[in-house]
Structure 1
Amino acid sequence: MSAALDEAGVSRMAYGLRVSPAADAVLDLFDYGPAVEDVMSPYPVSMVLREGVVPEPWRRLPEPTPNAAPAPSADPARLERLLRERLPGSIGATDSEITSCCRSAS
């Protein structure tokens, strides 16, 4: 394993093992990259971001998907009712607020 990490240029990697009652096993490997402090933790989902660091997914806009469309089973009215029920008093962001937020993160 250490040879594979050396070849990939990774000095440290966290892992988690999930075993189902049927004895199926899945090994998850986590490479946190430079945005996460090097802390020892038995929980790979515990991450401590370095001050001022923005995780990579927030630094880029999503790739355009020209043929994207809602699924035939999508029900925007039902989604709106659910959100209004669970988040009373919340208001949505305008298109310009979303665009502004995405541009400032890149």
Structure 2
Amino acid sequence: MTQDSSDVQILNVDEVEPVEVVPGIIRRRLPATDWARGWMYDFAPGTEWPEVDVHEGEERYYVISGEFIDRGQRLGPGSYVVFAPGSTHRPRTETGARMLGISILTP
């Protein structure tokens, strides 16, 4: 289901076309605005983000399922992480995991 108007966009995330980042990591680009971008990421068991992720602006993610290991912390469902501009990280998973990532844009 997709609904779009000038002030709201509604969709089923699993209907968004998946794009392989690297083998085992899938990204779905969600609708964006001038102020924020969002993605759904699915990591297969034993995968790691391909390089250190450097944040130009504020970035955050919410763990939906599975477990990520990021900056030495084990992050399970319900974990919410906020990164300041200029920060870095490289998430990985042993179990497989799904996250919603959001980048805040500076106008």
| Structure number with higher helix proportion | 1
Q: With a CA cutoff of 8 Å and minimum separation of 6, indicate the structure with the bigger relative contact order.
A: 2
TM range (shorter): under 0.3
Q: Which has the larger radius of gyration?
A: 1
TM-score by length of 1: 0.22
| Structure number with higher strand proportion | 2
